[in-house]
Amino acid sequence: MLSKKNLQEIKKFEKSGISVVAVDSDGRLSYSTQGVGGSEYCDQCSAFRLLPDPDPFDWFRDNDKKAVCLEVNGVIAGSLEIPSEYTNIRKPLYCPKLGRELSEDEKKEATELLEWARERME
């Protein structure tokens, strides 16, 4: 949760035309000027976290983040560099909070995607 002082600073940045994305120490997205999605995006879900995504073969991109879903214990997206990317992650087909029924083809695809997402968590 952001303090009053932080919110005041954010408002000053926004008034000057600068977009703000704030991530707390737990990896939760605390605030975003734009791109904060509605029901089709992950960024407002309580299971959504941003964690470091180091790549030993990619030494020049040490600040990458990965979007993780704690509900399914899987990686939703990786190699996120720009704060606007944190807020534009659509819910994957395997999301338990997707909000719609899946077709048979989508169920098969969701199963494969979920397996891949869980492998990336290791």
pLDDT tens-digit profile of 12-58? 888 888 878 787 777 777 777 665 555 678 877 888 998 988 776 76
The number of folded domains in the chain is 1
Cα(114)–Cα(109) distance, rounded to whole angstroms?
Answer: 9
Which among 47, 83, 82, 88 is positioned nearest to 68, based on CA atoms?
A: 47
> What is the structure's pLDDT at 8?
86
State the Cα–Cα distance between residues 10 and 96, nearest whole angstrom: 33
- Phi, psi torsion values for 42, nearest 5 degrees: -80, -25
pTM of structure: 0.68
The pLDDT of residue 79 is 85
Backbone angles phi, psi at 13, to 5 degrees: -60, -45
Show the domain range for 39.
Answer: 4-121
Structure tokens at 109: 């695809």
pLDDT at 13: 84
**Count of beta carbons in the 10 Å neighbourhood of residue 33:** 17
- CA 27, CA 60: separation in Å to the nearest integer? 22
Count of H helices and E strands in the chain? 3, 5
